Chain A
Amino acid sequence: MKDLTYHFLVLFFVLTHTVVLAKNIHVGPGKENRSIRAALLLAKDGDTIFVYHSLYKEGNIIINKKITMIGVDYPVIDGDKKFEVVSIKSDNVIFRGFQVQNSGYGSLNDLGGIKVYDAGNIIIENNILENNFFSIYINFGKNILIKNNKIRAYGIEEQQIGNGIHCWKSDSLQIIGNHIQGHRDGIYFEFVTHSIIWRNVSRFNIRYGLHFMFSNDDAYINNVFDGNGAGVAVMYTKKVTMYNNTFKNSTGDASYGILLKEISDAEIVGNRFLSNTSALFLEGANRIMIKKNVFSNNGWGLKIQANCMENVISQNNFIGNTFDVSTNGSLVLNKFDKNYWDKYEGYDLDKDMYGDIPFHPLNVYSFIIENNPIAMLLFRSFMVTLLEKTEKLIPSITPEDFRDDHPLLKAYSL
């Protein structure tokens, strides 16, 4: 964090220093320049280009100087479905207030609405991105702020569309308050470190709302992921923190609120999982703290595969899920403690707020469904309920020590 502050201080000084010497260039109907390209040719490091409302179809616009680009009343830059629209190839660029649309589609090149090549200290802010292949693409970036952009695409098939905010091999990114919709993945991170994703809304993307690989030491806070095809996937990563996010309406075969694969030392705290087929899926996940989350109206609250170890699941509310927890093995290497389970039917005679008998969150029928999905047809029938109750009383198929010893009697207010 100190590192980050330092960089921004530097950026601040650099900017204030240059602005004093810089000149302003105006682009637009009736202005000195009719095209952005012309203005860019005129510009020198530190200059500010004001672009006024109009439609600009100039092929690929390359920003390779340390300049500030400001759109007035959202001028529209159109890639005509052929070109990458804006390429930022210089450090210290500010790009603000544009509508960038119709980038080209490439099966070999990842053409972007706004693409950053190997640059740092960049701000991309308050833009509207419509119908681009990749909307914002950061390639080897450092210290980049992506803020309050409205990103929208109309992808139908996974192969035909890129990601909303795509970041590759970057560091110290801040992705804040963006709205992303209709891309393949809403936000995509691969080899991105020390970054923060805060207050974004990622909805109705074809694959993942957030897709995340090999990206250590990052934090997601207060984001909303809603109705994405497969939810959120976090894979092959260490030290991730996820606070107060909402994951909802990811329904379908292989859809997850969050899919955790080969993750260790993460914190998942204060999130809400609502109406997902599987709220939280853990595979090869170790030392993860899952705390104070709400799991409500999901098909499965937690799916913990047997290769997960030393995870702590504590102080969560499990309410109205079809199955609270399921697993595929009999080994219990994770700790459940002090959660609220609405399916708990015990009592609290010693009035310590915790039930006096342990709760077994595993439902035997979820075992059966795991192997015979079609068995779902018989769920909640008398025979199946009988089977479940018997199993709860005398566990024979489900591991006996898979339990919460201190189930709470009243839900936490989370």
Chain B
Amino acid sequence: MKGITTFIIKDILKNRIVILYTLILCGFSWSIFSLEDNVSKGILSLLNIILLIVPLVSVIFANIYMYNSTEFIELLVSQPVKRSSIWYAMFTGLAVALNAAFLIGIGIPVLLFIHPLTALVVILAGVLLTTIFVSVAMLCFILMRDKAKGIGLSIMLWLFLSLMYDGLVLFFMFQFADYPIEKIMVLLTAINPVDLARIQVLLQIDVAALMGYTGAIFKKLFGTQTGYFTSFIFMLVWIVVPYFFSLRLFKNKDL
């Protein structure tokens, strides 16, 4: 099975879009840090890339790659290979290749320019988001036989998680501002992996502000060791659940 995974990784790493993606990330991060002498401002610009661009590219690329690999998957299924191994190989291949692009494009400059702990959180956020959206893309692939519908669904999911969700939560907050909604708000944000990633980076760069009124909630729920751990677990759930759901469907899929 190692064979297939390695083949897929190599195949994706040679893909022009992935190379372009790496170069664009590289260009972004290097220009941000070398033009901007204010590091915290640099992290902010980077945060938007990590929360918006990285998930978008991950989900669309992984999704299209899955559709383009339909025949390849068919070939593998006709060979003596377990379906779960094929699925695992596709997932690992995509996740490793896209994360490699992310680490080269953003990880290295981040490590060079910003405080190591903050850098670690930023990188971990990016890696987890990339992997989550690969997992989501594979679920979209298995749910939709039609390529256009599949890509549509994955973009919709990205749109929802990255952009619309916060708007809805904000709306909810304004509507129920007079009620004790703290716990619900925390829960709502903890459900969305993009929000979790954002909050973890926030805890690094806006720590002084977060110690304010909301300090209690923030520190207790996100900033402590248990907080970090819980956030991490929530994000892992976002990887594991779509993955196993799609695997179950794939095992019974007619090719």
Contact = CB atoms under 8 A, between A and B. Distances in A.
Contacts of B173: 372, 374-375, 378
Nearest to B206: A322
A253 B163 contact: no
A277 B199 contact: no
Interface string B178-198: 000110011001000001001
B239 to A, nearest CB: 21
A371 B214 CA distance: 12
Contact of B209 (A376, A383, A384): A376
A2 to B, nearest CB: 43
Given A253-B212, A376-B218, A378-B189, A384 B177 contact: no
Interface of B is mostly: helix
A181 interface: no
A275 interface: yes
Contacts of A300: 209, 212
A252 interface: yes
B98 interface: no
B166 A253 contact: no
Nearest to B163: A382
Interface string B45-57: 0011001100000
Contacts of B39: 320
Contacts, number: 106
Most buried by A among B166, B198, B217: B166
Interface residues of B, number: 40
B208 A382 contact: no
A312 B216 CA distance: 34
A377 interface: yes
Contacts of A71: none
A252 B202 contact: no
Contact of B214 (A278, A297, A373, A383): A373
Given A320-B40, A342-B41, A377 B189 contact: yes
B40 A255 contact: no
A252 B207 CA distance: 10
Interface of B: 38-41, 44, 47-48, 51-52, 162-163, 166-167, 169-170, 173-174, 177, 181-182, 185-186, 189, 195, 198-199, 202, 206-218
Given A374-B173, A374-B181, 20 more contacts: A251-B207, A252-B211, A298-B209, A299-B212, A321-B208, A322-B206, A322-B209, A369-B213, A375-B170, A376-B214, A377-B186, A377-B214, A378-B166, A378-B169, A378-B189, A378-B195, A381-B51, A381-B198, A382-B51, A383-B166
